[in-house]
Structure 1
Amino acid sequence: MTTMDNHKLVKLSDTNETIKLGDEDVRRHLVKDKNGEDIGKVHDLLVDLTENKVRFLVVESGGFLGMGEKRSFIPVDAISLITKDEVHLGHSRQRVAGAPPYDPELINNREYNQNSYAYYGYAPYWSGGYLYPNLLVAR
């Protein structure tokens, strides 16, 4: 069983790592809710370098010219479809807006991560029987 204790999450932008297939890097993709409504853009990806897996999206919404924007912390399990320039979530815009706020200081705090998974209704990746999501890609 994977435990979070030996897996540190880092922002992909803070590493020299890349996504295996460059066209699968969803940073800067538009994020849509389950009804096709705009949520924002993928600002960054939080990666577990131990297993080389993306665990969370950091989604930026609102604001103007970098002011007043809000960042959300969304488990990759919430992704229902990835297209050439969009990431679709299986949740409503209102659900994402009500999520616990993104706090970069807490990305490796087990309780913070567990609360994020629970809010969206998913088991955390360190729990028994966890299966990494099959991220659907439409070209």
Structure 2
Amino acid sequence: MASEVTKITSGSLIAAEKVEGTDVYNPQGDKLGSVDDIMIDKVSGKAIYAIMSFGGFLGIGEKYHPLPWSTLKYDESKGGYIVNLDKKMLENAPTYDINEEFMWTPDYGRRVDKYYNAPSYW
């Protein structure tokens, strides 16, 4: 029953499972990657980061890029998110490898926020 409810979207609400796989574009319309996951604050329930997969071919060389949620704007006409950055900026951004054992820390979060000049969650 609950899975049926999350298939319905209304207004500005969307189920997390529908956000996963959504494409991310820059303002010029170039596809940068897609949302692989969402990091949500346990207390407030607000989305804090979108984890975008970028690069690689068939999963080889693919990296995960945490993007502060505040940097994403939904574009209904594209059916995806727009983020004001280019591929060059992504190449130098904080990332972690798809096969890496990764531990999220407040220091890492602050580094991500600073890189994108976003208000820090931490």
TM-score bin (small chain): 0.7 to 0.9
Structure 2 unaligned blocks of 5 or more:
1-5
TM-score (norm 1): 0.66
Q: Give the equivalent residue in structure 2 for 1:13.
A: none
Structure 1 unaligned blocks of 5 or more:
1-17, 127-139
Map residues 12-91 of structure 1 onto 2, 5 A cutoff.
21-22=14-15, 25-83=18-76, 85-91=79-85
Deviation at 1:24, TM superposition (A): 8.6
Map residues 83-122 of structure 1 onto 2, 5 A cutoff.
83=76, 85-102=79-96, 105-107=102-104, 109-122=105-118
Percent of residue pairs bearing the same amino acid type? 27
SS of the residue 2:28 aligns to: coil
SS of the residue 1:57 aligns to: strand
Deviation readout 1:45-64 (Å, 9 max, x if unpaired): 11112110111111112222
Deviation readout 1:48-87 (Å, 9 max, x if unpaired): 1211011111111222222221111110111133436311
Indicate conservation of the 8 Å contact 1:27/1:42, yes or no: yes
Relative to structure 1, the CA distance from residue 79 to residue 95 in structure 2 (aligned partners, 3 Å threshold; closer, same or farther) is: same
> How much is the aligned-residue C-alpha RMSD, in angstroms?
2.5
Indicate conservation of the 8 Å contact 1:77/1:122, yes or no: yes
In structure 2, distance between residues paired with 1:90 and 1:81: 12
With a CA cutoff of 8 Å and minimum separation of 6, indicate the structure with the bigger relative contact order: 1
Task: Tell me the amino acid that sits aligned with residue 105 of structure 1.
Answer: F
Displaced runs of 4+ in structure 1, greater than 4 A?
none
Task: Tell me the amino acid that sits aligned with residue 34 of structure 1.
Answer: P
Relative to structure 1, the CA distance from residue 29 to residue 43 in structure 2 (aligned partners, 3 Å threshold; closer, same or farther) is: same
In structure 2, distance between residues paired with 1:110 and 1:101: 15
Q: Give the equivalent residue in structure 1 for 2:121.
A: 125
TM-score (norm 2): 0.74
SS of the residue 1:21 aligns to: coil
Deviation at 1:106, TM superposition (A): 3.0
In structure 2, distance between residues paired with 1:46 and 1:119: 18
